[in-house]
Amino acid sequence: MTRTAIVTGGARGLGAAICQLAASQGYRLGVLDLRREDCASLIGTLPGSGHVALQADVTDEHSMRAAFDEFGVTPDVMVNNAGIVRFGALLEQSVADFRASVEVNLVGTYIGAREAGRRMVAQGRGAIVNMTSLNAVTPGPGAGAYPAAKAGVAKLTEHLSLELGPLGIRVNCVAPGFIDGGMSTPVYADPRVRQLRGGAVPLRRLGLVEEVAKAVMWLASDDAAYVTGHQLVVDGGVAHSVLLQLPRKVD
């Protein structure tokens, strides 16, 4: 039987990489984003058939419900990938930008997980994978509400795993680190930033969107059947590398 998945923010960046990998593994996809034409363009590049372009705003529960209804079946896998960042120091951040980040990253994830979870309960199985960030583990300055919102997603993931586990539904999240793609593409357009950040990672390079996609699809797979409530950090080891940056002696 063909497995199915819905991926929010699926038309570009990391979401597109997740869709590409899922389709290559035989999934029939609901590619969900703000513009149906963007979803359709991506679907034109995917292997397999039966994929559906879904237009919805993840912060609008009514449009999300309509998108699930349009997909027509309960997804085996729900990937809550849609996200935004509004850069700026917290003292200079507008309340509107702060709220927008929380709405898309945290509330949008809740709405997507709730819509999927309600349907998965009826079939007694399912896997939900949410997207957090290295900022959820160790916040970086100048990222506005993004670290707080993503940390909220991590705790929401744990909470959902407790409530949905007895109903046969696993809920996990992936925290990407310095990834060369997606929302970070403009950051790494600067060669000096690429060199400095890549060099600070214990593996001595930036991560790839395809590597994050593999982590997502592993958590969604039966290979992770006994994993729930977990945040899988995909960062080349940078989150715990503070002593690597601060040597005991200087030559």
Q: What is the set of active-site residues?
A: 146
Query: Which 3-state string (H, E, C) describes 16-46?
Result: HHHHHHHHHCCCEEEEEECCHHHHHHHHCCC
Under a CB-based contact definition with an 8 Å cutoff, are residues 113 and 130 in contact?
yes
Distance CA(37)–CA(55), nearest Å, equals 9
Residue 46 identity (one-letter amino acid): L
Pairing state between β 52-55 and 28-33: parallel
Those residues with Cβ within 8 angstroms of residue 171's Cβ, 6 or more apart along the chain or in another chain: 113, 127, 128, 129, 130, 157, 160, 161, 164, 165, 228, 229
**φ, ψ for residue 128 (rounded to 5)?**
-115, 130
Length of the chain: 251
- In the numeric block, the tokens 């929302």 are attached to 183
Other Cβ atoms within 10 Å of 141 Cβ, number: 7
Distance CA(207)–CA(216), nearest Å, equals 14
Sign of CA pseudo-dihedral 23, 109, 215, 192: positive
